[in-house]
Structure 1
Amino acid sequence: MTAPSVRRGPLLGGGLYPTWFLAPAFAILMVFFFLPTLFNFIYAFTNWSAFHDDIAGVGFANFESVLSNGSLVSSLRITIVYAVLVAILQNGMGLGLALLLERDTRLNRFARVVFFVPVLMSALAVGYIFQALLKPDGALNGLLHVSVPWLGSTTWTVVTVAFVNSWKWMGLAMVIFLAGLKTIPEDVLEAARLDGAGVWKTFTQVRFPLLAPAVTFNVATALLGSFNGFDTILATTGGGPAQTTEVLNIYIFKVYGNGLFAQATTMSLVLFLIVTILAFPVIGYLRKRERVLS
């Protein structure tokens, strides 16, 4: 017996009717992403601020002012340091968890869920939790019976904040690395063991090179995500102490809060261009490494 055919009415657009289900998503993207991005390019060339009643074009004056601003250069340097630290810590912890929880046991499955929970949490919530834990009279110092200014050092606070952000996202890196480990053929590992390779040599010479696609994805997402870092830093330090954790987005937020809307818009456009310029060589290098190792 043949299955009854599905009738497609004229209101469904014939064979194209599934496309209509994408309309709400495209509408949201248009209103909250594409249009703001378009206006970002427009307002960067104006004098838009809380101190003007009208908006007029000023050409490249905002870019000249922004690029000559020493605070912006300092924030860019801090952003790069922060992004590199997050990429190293997040992927190091994620890979360690993936190797530790690789075996498909009931305990490991439960542990994977536990370590993935922070990924689903709000970044602001994570930041406020760690801010309470790491303050001078917080739980961590009380537990260790020490008095360490975890968020008060002008040298090490950026490392602490990078660790907090890495802790939040290491579950995602773990899942990607786990997926990569599961795709490694068992016969390749068996051949390495028969050749006398130990656990460490098998990992460095066989398993890690075959994880190249997972490394590319995790490093790229960690770097690009960290360049747009905001929530965790705002909740933990607010850019302090002494502006040592004031990444670009925090600095832009403060400039916007001072009513200099056009300058803040120009800075966000500069950040967008910097991320775009850095993304291509980083991703290109990682993809080239994939081809060499494959």
Structure 2
Amino acid sequence: MVDTATMDAGAAPQAKGRDRSSPQGRRERPRRKPDQPWWFALPALAVFGVFFLLPNLLNFVYPFTDWSAFHPQIGFAGLSNFDAILHDGSLARDIRITVEYAVLVAVFQNGFGLALALLLERDTRFNRFFRAVFFLPVLISALAVGYLFRALLAQDGALNGVLSSLAGRPVDTPWLGSTTWTLLVVTLIHGWKWMGLAMLIYLAGLKSMPGDVLEAARIDGAGGWRTFWSIRFPLLAPAVTFNVTTALIGSMNTFDIVQATTAGGPGSETEVFNIYMFRVFGQGLYAQASAMSLVLFLIVVVLAVPVIVGLRRRENNQ
């Protein structure tokens, strides 16, 4: 009589072998979900291409044409538009004003933002409320901010009215009409508008600092200023890089705040490069305005890249 256990033991490997070889015995793998059709992205790609990619590509073409309100057709013009810009007489002045504007905005925006981040660092109800208050200007339209300050700083505006009440005599200071300090006033307005964003970035940097390093500094007897300057500020290097870079690039491309407050005046003392470009475009010289935008792009690259490289190197040396 044959041992049934032996038969079962011998039959098991054969059954396994049949299971592997026969299609019926194979284990069915879970079916992979089909990928999303790529054409779902077509509407977004179309919007991106028509309203962003194509205009930017054409911006490298139109500067070399004679496109204007005075020509029925567009033809090739070579470097004549760039030659006209160089001999216009306003290029060097407006580049200088734009660079001064960008540097002042970067100083004010980061100074205000860092000071607010240090003052509102603790997570209290009071501090959370005022963080939201100081961030509100970031959400307001830049044109609205410009027109608001234009009304406040007019010679018969609210600021001179308050100063007149305090001084007991009429005050009619032309805050936006002086060739001496108007550029400084407009950069203060720009820095005030964007200081809330810088504050949030610095707050994130302060909150991410390792507590054991700060505790070790306190144990070693370092005071508040010494701890900030030797430990906390170096650890804020990534936040400084981001804020300084965005402030410089954003202010060199500014238009709305300056247009709403001074429109480039008085006497072209606040005529940044985009105001100059807007004036030329309004004269119907479209190709020349496109050439100026290309010049501004090159200026931003030439000035911003060394700053970014220097700040990144500073981060790596911390």
Q: In structure 2, what is the Cα distance between the partners aligned to 1:21 and 1:182?
A: 40
Which letter maps to 1:78?
Answer: I
Query: Which string of whole-angstrom CA distances, capped at 9 and with x for unpartnered residues, describes residues 102-125 of structure 1?
Result: 000111111011111110110000
CA distance 1:166–1:190, shift in 2 (3 Å): same
Distance 1:283 1:95 in 2: 19
1:132 aligns with 2:157: no
Equivalent position to 1:144, from 157, 160, 163? 163
Q: Structure 1: how far apart are the matches of 2:40 and 2:132?
A: 32
Which residue number in structure 1 is paired with residue 262 of structure 2? 237
Pick from 173, 196, 207: which aligns with 2:198? Answer: 173
Q: 5 Å matches for 1:77-116?
A: 77-116=96-135
1: distance between equivalents of 2:207 and 2:275?
Answer: 39
Aligned residue runs from structure 1 range 6-21, under 5 A: 8=33, 14-17=34-37
Among 57, 68, 80, which residue is 2:87 paired with?
A: 68
Indicate whether 1:266 and 2:310 are aligned.
no
Q: Which moved more, 1:243-252 or 1:269-278?
A: 269-278
The separation in 2 between residues aligned to 1:192 and 1:263, in whole angstroms, is: 58
Q: Secondary structure at the match of 2:132?
A: helix
Structure 2 CA distance for partners of 1:21 and 1:287, relative to 1, 3 Å: farther
Over aligned residues, Cα RMSD in angstroms? Answer: 1.5
State the partner residue of 1:11. Answer: none
SS at match of 2:296: helix
* Structure 2 equivalent of residue 186 of structure 1: 211
Residue-pair matches, total: 283
CA displacement 1:20-69 (0-9 Å, x = unmatched): 66544433221122111111111100111111111111111111221232
User: Match for 2:259: what amino acid?
Assistant: L
Alpha-carbon separation, structure 2, partners of 1:152 and 1:28: 42
Give deviations 1:99-147, integer Å, cap 9, x for gaps: 0000001111110111111101100000000000000011111112132
2:35 counterpart letter in structure 1: G
Once the two structures are TM-superposed, the CA of residue 16 in structure 1 deviates from its matched residue by: 4.4
Which aligned segments of 4 or more residues in structure 1 are displaced greater than 2 angstroms?
Answer: 5-8, 14-17, 19-29
**Alignment TM-score, normalising by the size of structure 1:** 0.93
Q: Distance in 2 between matches of 1:108 and 1:24?
A: 43
2:279 pairs with 1:254 = yes
Q: Who is 2:230 aligned against?
A: 205
2:111 aligned counterpart, secondary structure:
helix
Structure 1 counterpart of 2:5: none
For residue 188 of structure 2, the aligned residue among 146, 163, 166 is: 163
Matched letter for residue 46 of structure 2: A
- Specify the SS of the correspondent of 1:44: helix
Q: Aligned letter for 1:119?
A: V
- Describe the SS at the equivalent of 2:91: helix
Give distance in 2, aligned partners of 1:35 and 1:65.
26
Which residues of structure 2 form unaligned runs of 5+? 1-29, 165-170
Q: Which residue identity lines up with residue 281 of structure 1 in the other structure? A: P
Match of 1:51 in 2: 70
**How far apart, CA to CA, are the structure 2 residues paired with 1:227 and 1:237?**
17
Distance 2:298 2:247 in 1: 18
Deviation at 1:277, TM superposition (A): 1.8
Larger Rg: 2
Q: In 1, distance between residues paired with 2:91 and 2:41?
A: 40
Query: Which one of 236, 244, 251 corresponds to residue 226 of structure 1?
Result: 251
Amino acid of the structure 2 residue aligned with 1:57: F
Name the CA distance, whole Å, in 1 between partners of 2:296 and 2:279.
15
* Percent identity between the two aligned chains: 64
How far off its partner does 1:271 sit? 0.4
User: CA 1:50–1:187 in structure 2 vs 1: closer, same or farther (change >3 Å)?
Assistant: same
In the aligned structure 2, how far is the partner of 1:47 from the partner of 1:211?
A: 49
**2: CA distance between counterparts of 1:6 and 1:81?**
63
